[in-house]
A and B are shown apart, each in its own frame.
Chain A
């Protein structure tokens, strides 16, 4: 039952991304059942009207002056057919102005998209330098995924180590904890994109002081920045984990069993390490899924700001002309998040002792 529920959640998320990311397919910029044609001068010289010319193209009918009705969704096929007619100079789609959303077009667009996915077309990228060529994203995905994962996974692990380590240290040394709590409150108020900006500022200042580049801030000539994305990805989840653990440790300090432990002569360090940290595992595992989500958001932010050609930042690089693969890459990012949630859920089941009361 749990497995089915998890499966349903995953399917809903992917379906949701698919449905909302393709909303533009329902916005009709061009009519899906009409074609605008222009008759050649030869037709005028031969005394032919549009009706007569269309008799040789089955499936079409006249919709108005220079307008031809064609079967729904087959505009491009019929443009090719009409262009092959010697009396038709030009055939082009009919522009809908202003563009409007229609449910029929949306359903048609979704069907087209599904057909493309089934045919292995996951979307394309077109660069400004080669505007006539669209590169399939499927060829670039392995590189993009490995590039993004190269700091997503280390960043997440670093965040766990930082958050957990600092929270334990703060609990162990209260004075240090006070300073950390202030810093935590301040940093938590900063949006992640400003954190990237601050890191980039720092790197620029460092470069000015040193007289040469110390920390790379943008992807350039095959060199990908590592430190700034890594820190950006790790800092927000670390703060989240730190805050949760601090609250959990505070709660545990008030528990009766801690007083019992003290009264039995256990030192505070031993109490912290043997009892409190063990009992806060549930809190840590409860907040980690949220930390994964924050990590992925930070990944997108850092990739965009550092100009990294990864899963999150490729669409906004200045060299890009047209991107049709965003639903695919957003789906992959969602898959990462869901995979991490699944692993963390398994860990929860393995590590947390059930405390249900018996009959």
Chain B
């Protein structure tokens, strides 16, 4: 009835170390294992395949499914997904590692001193409750969603990093304050204090050495937690590895995607998740790498816990200098790394860019990380700006027509909604006051320069009976000898409607 206790197994422990080293190898030398490069020249633009619609063999555009050439398929740009993922390992795992390390660097001293002395204990505990009572997403997501449009990609990554660190610091500090408090109540700490040891000495010489094993275990757990958070944020379109926009035209309407240039896993998960129904391999590869990394870390953490909780195993362990198997493993791993660097080509895009830039004598292009939102509080043009640009475009075309061919100008005149029973025909001849304008332009050699002030105009009743609320638009006409004249156009004030010209003010 009682469950079998988890016991330490040397083979499992070694396997855990082996897998962890594999992950480390992937982070540092992943770009040497890439089967293809990830520069624009390495894109696969066309490939022979079976058209799913007709069932015939023809040249198809990416994304391509998994095949012998591309084990995990390609993305919409034609980049090999395996290569992207191998290159992206260092960004995802590296970012998570540094975020965790900074969390610990900030939290550990505070937590240990607070636990040992009791000072600031209440503040740490309070902050811990505040930050752990709700999901971290409710703090991070709205902040980055609102700010990303106004910040540079690098600034956004710094903000993301800062938020991930700040959210985690009180929790870690509280955890270690509890442990530190536990050890600080021991008799040997009292003895040390009686013998005159300072608080700093007690923390670093007596408490910290006792906590080394749990420190390592807590670091691993937090590292996994940060990876989870990065994955969750990537689903919310907050990720590190953006870099270029790409238009995907799988069907109307075309979609503009922010795609990673460096293969950061979170961004690939976010991108692939959008196409799970049509191109399952896009998310499958990224998902397997992400889940694989988390599983390896979880497995290692579990095995480490088992090892640390087994005093026999720890006592049996030989010192490094006498441990032949360990020396052989370290040597083998080092040789493997060396072989990878020496024998395998480096496909990392930065390296290629650097080389080509050096060859061309120009600085390498900036490949910054970029979080991206499909829709965000981005800076949109104001309604005034939209209206002005629409008026400018229509006025330019209209005056071009007045100068050359009335039928072209007439195309810019506002027209009634389509009605098959009462077909509207644009005027064949210039209508007043535009006949007068054409004559004036010819006579005084005037040409259209720009539009000026826009203000509310009169309501004008059209030929088909519909009243139109117009805007009165000043039009600058430029003549010889820098002579300027201001004419007035009445244009349809409704935004985003074609053919804006309604009428004009007769010239004096």
Show the binding face of A for B, using Cβ within 8 Å.
8-9, 12-13, 16-17, 20-25, 27, 29, 40-42, 44-45, 83, 86, 88-90, 92, 98-99, 128, 131-132, 170-172, 174, 177-178, 181, 185-186, 188-194, 197, 200-201, 204, 217-218, 246, 250, 253, 268, 289-290, 293-294, 296-297, 300-301, 304-305, 315-318, 320-324, 326-327, 330-331, 333-334, 337-338, 341
Whether, in the assembled complex, B377 has its beta carbon less than 8 Å from a beta carbon of chain A, the answer is yes
Selected interface stretch from B139-147, B190-198, B311-319? B139-147
Residues of B69-101 contacting chain A, CB below 8 A: none
B210 to chain A, nearest CB (A): 23
Q: B residues within 8 A CB of A44? A: 484
**Contact of A189 (CB < 8 Å), options: B3, B129, B291:** B291
Whether, in the assembled complex, B474 has its beta carbon less than 8 Å from a beta carbon of chain A, the answer is yes
New contact pairs (10) apart from A178-B4, A193-B231, CB-CB < 8 Å: A12-B130, A174-B3, A191-B228, A193-B235, A217-B276, A316-B374, A318-B374, A323-B375, A331-B138, A341-B133
Cα of A19 to Cα of B379 in the assembled complex, Å: 21
Residues of B134-172 contacting chain A, CB below 8 A: 134-135, 137-139, 141-143, 145-147, 149-152, 159, 163
Whether, in the assembled complex, B255 has its beta carbon less than 8 Å from a beta carbon of chain A, the answer is yes
Known A9-B126, A41-B484; contact A323-B280, beta-carbon cutoff 8 A: no
Residues of B92-140 contacting chain A, CB below 8 A: 126, 129-130, 132-135, 137-139
Q: A residues within 8 A CB of B255? A: 318
Residues of B227-241 contacting chain A, CB below 8 A: 227-228, 231-232, 234-237
Whether, in the assembled complex, B56 has its beta carbon less than 8 Å from a beta carbon of chain A, the answer is no
Cα of A186 to Cα of B298 in the assembled complex, Å: 9
Contact assessment for B294 and A191 in the assembled complex, using a CB-CB cutoff below 8 Å? yes
**Contact of B142 (CB < 8 Å), options: A204, A318, A326:** A326
Cα of A172 to Cα of B2 in the assembled complex, Å: 8
Cα of A340 to Cα of B276 in the assembled complex, Å: 34
Contact assessment for A17 and B290 in the assembled complex, using a CB-CB cutoff below 8 Å? no
Indicate with 1 or 0, residue by residue over B464-508, a CB within 8 angstroms of chain A CB atoms. Answer: 000000000010100000001010000000011000000000000
Whether, in the assembled complex, B295 has its beta carbon less than 8 Å from a beta carbon of chain A, the answer is yes
Contact assessment for B276 and A197 in the assembled complex, using a CB-CB cutoff below 8 Å? yes
- 5 interchain pairs (CB within 8 A)? A132-B495, A172-B1, A191-B232, A193-B269, A204-B277
Q: B residues within 8 A CB of A42? A: 486
Contact assessment for B290 and A191 in the assembled complex, using a CB-CB cutoff below 8 Å? yes
Q: A residues within 8 A CB of B163? A: 20
A333 to chain B, nearest CB (A): 5
Known A41-B484, A322-B378; contact A185-B139, beta-carbon cutoff 8 A: no
A167 to chain B, nearest CB (A): 11
Whether, in the assembled complex, B287 has its beta carbon less than 8 Å from a beta carbon of chain A, the answer is yes
Contact assessment for A297 and B146 in the assembled complex, using a CB-CB cutoff below 8 Å? no
Q: A residues within 8 A CB of B295? A: 186, 189
Q: B residues within 8 A CB of A297? A: 135, 137, 232
Contact assessment for A24 and B453 in the assembled complex, using a CB-CB cutoff below 8 Å? no
Known A20-B163, A189-B291; contact A333-B135, beta-carbon cutoff 8 A: yes
Known A174-B4, A191-B291, A268-B1; contact A17-B375, beta-carbon cutoff 8 A: no
Contact assessment for B236 and A99 in the assembled complex, using a CB-CB cutoff below 8 Å? no
Residue of B nearest to A26 (CB): B147
**Contact of B138 (CB < 8 Å), options: A98, A178, A290, A333:** A333
A137 to chain B, nearest CB (A): 13
Residue of A nearest to B228 (CB): A191
Q: B residues within 8 A CB of A185? A: 298, 302
Known A178-B4, A204-B276, A330-B141; contact A194-B291, beta-carbon cutoff 8 A: yes
Most buried by A among B137, B235, B295, B496: B235
The list of the 7 closest CB pairs from A to B, nearest first, reads A24-B146, A21-B142, A326-B142, A320-B375, A330-B138, A189-B298, A27-B150
Contact assessment for A316 and B236 in the assembled complex, using a CB-CB cutoff below 8 Å? yes
Most buried by B among A128, A300, A337: A300
Cα of A301 to Cα of B137 in the assembled complex, Å: 10
Contact assessment for B133 and A326 in the assembled complex, using a CB-CB cutoff below 8 Å? no
Residue of B nearest to A88 (CB): B453
Q: A residues within 8 A CB of B2? A: 174, 253
Q: A residues within 8 A CB of B385? A: 92
Residue of A nearest to B163 (CB): A20
A233 to chain B, nearest CB (A): 13
Contact assessment for B236 and A300 in the assembled complex, using a CB-CB cutoff below 8 Å? yes
Cα of A170 to Cα of B379 in the assembled complex, Å: 55
Cα of A24 to Cα of B379 in the assembled complex, Å: 11
Whether, in the assembled complex, B452 has its beta carbon less than 8 Å from a beta carbon of chain A, the answer is yes
Residue of B nearest to A295 (CB): B135
Known A41-B452, A41-B484, A204-B280; contact A193-B273, beta-carbon cutoff 8 A: yes
Known A20-B163, A191-B231, A253-B2; contact A304-B141, beta-carbon cutoff 8 A: no
Residues of B1-15 contacting chain A, CB below 8 A: 1-4
Cα of A178 to Cα of B5 in the assembled complex, Å: 10
Q: B residues within 8 A CB of A172? A: 1
Q: B residues within 8 A CB of A217? A: 276-277
Cα of A268 to Cα of B340 in the assembled complex, Å: 58
**Contact of A200 (CB < 8 Å), options: B126, B231, B234, B276:** B276
Residue of B nearest to A190 (CB): B291
Whether, in the assembled complex, B283 has its beta carbon less than 8 Å from a beta carbon of chain A, the answer is yes
Most buried by B among A171, A191, A330: A191
Q: B residues within 8 A CB of A22? A: 146
Contact assessment for B235 and A304 in the assembled complex, using a CB-CB cutoff below 8 Å? yes
Residue of B nearest to A333 (CB): B138
Q: A residues within 8 A CB of B373? A: 316
Contact assessment for B146 and A250 in the assembled complex, using a CB-CB cutoff below 8 Å? no
Q: B residues within 8 A CB of A17? A: 138-139, 142
Q: B residues within 8 A CB of A132? A: 383, 495-496
Cα of A344 to Cα of B374 in the assembled complex, Å: 38
Contact assessment for B141 and A13 in the assembled complex, using a CB-CB cutoff below 8 Å? no
Q: B residues within 8 A CB of A174? A: 1-4
Contact assessment for B374 and A304 in the assembled complex, using a CB-CB cutoff below 8 Å? no
Contact assessment for B476 and A41 in the assembled complex, using a CB-CB cutoff below 8 Å? yes
Cα of A273 to Cα of B87 in the assembled complex, Å: 53
A11 to chain B, nearest CB (A): 10
Q: A residues within 8 A CB of B232? A: 191-193, 297, 300-301
Residue of A nearest to B235 (CB): A193
Contact assessment for B134 and A334 in the assembled complex, using a CB-CB cutoff below 8 Å? yes
Cα of A263 to Cα of B484 in the assembled complex, Å: 110
Known A20-B142, A41-B452; contact A194-B290, beta-carbon cutoff 8 A: yes
Q: A residues within 8 A CB of B389? A: none
Most buried by A among B145, B255, B294, B388: B145
Known A42-B486, A189-B294, A318-B374; contact A304-B276, beta-carbon cutoff 8 A: no
Contact assessment for B3 and A293 in the assembled complex, using a CB-CB cutoff below 8 Å? no
Q: A residues within 8 A CB of B143? A: 20-21, 23-24
Q: B residues within 8 A CB of A190? A: 291, 294
Q: A residues within 8 A CB of B126? A: 8-9, 12
Cα of A9 to Cα of B170 in the assembled complex, Å: 14
Contact assessment for B375 and A188 in the assembled complex, using a CB-CB cutoff below 8 Å? no
Contact assessment for A40 and B298 in the assembled complex, using a CB-CB cutoff below 8 Å? no
Contact assessment for A9 and B129 in the assembled complex, using a CB-CB cutoff below 8 Å? yes
Q: B residues within 8 A CB of A177? A: 3
Q: B residues within 8 A CB of A27? A: 147, 150-151
Whether, in the assembled complex, B376 has its beta carbon less than 8 Å from a beta carbon of chain A, the answer is yes
